[in-house]
Amino acid sequence: MELITSLLKGLWESSGFTLLTWQNMVMIGVAFVFLFLAIAKKFEPLLLVPIAFGILLANLPGSGIMDDLTLSQVFGGDGSLAGGGHWYDSGVLRILYAGVKSSIFPCLIFLGVGAMTDFGPLLSNPVSLLLGAAAQLGIYIAFIIAILLGFTPQEAAAISIIGGADGPTAIWLTGKLASHLLAPIALAAYSYMALIPLIQPPIMKALTTKKEREVKMTQLRKVSKTEKIVFPVIVLVLIALILPSVVPLLGMLMLGNLFRECGVVDRLSDTAQNAMNNIVVILLGVTVGATANGESFLKPQTLGIVALGLTAFIFSTVGGVLLGKILYIVTKGKINPLIGAAGVSAVPMAARVAQNEGRKYNPTNFLLMHAMGPNVAGVIGSAVAAGFLLLMFQ
Applying CB under 8 A, the residues found at the interface with other proteins are: 122-123, 126-127, 129-130, 132-134, 136-137, 139-141, 143-144, 147-148, 152-154, 156, 216, 218-219, 221-222, 224, 226-227, 230-231, 234-235, 238-239, 241-244, 364, 377, 380-381, 384-385, 388-389, 391-394
Nearer to other proteins, 235 or 262 (CB): 235
Report the alpha-carbon angle 189-194-195, nearest 5. 95
Min dist CB 65 to other proteins, Å, is 34
CA-CA distance, 218 to 269, in Å (whole number)? Answer: 31
In this structure, is the dihedral angle defined by the CA atoms of residues 115, 117, 121 and 123, taken in order, positive or negative?
Answer: negative
Nearer to other proteins, 163 or 289 (CB): 163
Min dist CB 41 to other proteins, Å, is 33
Nearer to other proteins, 9 or 211 (CB): 211
Min dist CB 314 to other proteins, Å, is 16
Q: How far is CA 214 from CA 5, 335, 340, 383, in A?
A: 77, 10, 14, 32
* Percent helix / strand / coil, the chain, rounded to 5: 75, 0, 25
In this structure, is the dihedral angle defined by the CA atoms of residues 347, 351, 357 and 360, taken in order, positive or negative?
Answer: negative
Nearer to other proteins, 141 or 305 (CB): 141
- Residue type at position 155: E
Structural element, H or E, at residue 26: helix 22-39
Min dist CB 271 to other proteins, Å, is 28
Min dist CB 116 to other proteins, Å, is 20
Min dist CB 233 to other proteins, Å, is 11
Min dist CB 147 to other proteins, Å, is 4
Nearer to other proteins, 284 or 376 (CB): 376
Nearer to other proteins, 38 or 384 (CB): 384
Min dist CB 258 to other proteins, Å, is 15
- Kindly report the number of other CB atoms within 10 A of residue 307's CB atom: 15
CA-CA distance, 43 to 50, in Å (whole number)? Answer: 13
- Using omega within 30 degrees of 0 as the cis cutoff, is the peptide bond preceding 121 cis? no
Nearer to other proteins, 201 or 373 (CB): 373
b/e code 47-57 from CB counts within 10 Å (16+ = b): bbbbbbbbbbb
Nearer to other proteins, 67 or 118 (CB): 118
CA-CA distance, 64 to 19, in Å (whole number)? Answer: 12
In this structure, is the dihedral angle defined by the CA atoms of residues 342, 281, 49 and 311, taken in order, positive or negative?
Answer: negative
CA-CA distance, 381 to 387, in Å (whole number)? Answer: 10
- Kindly report the number of other CB atoms within 10 A of residue 362's CB atom: 15
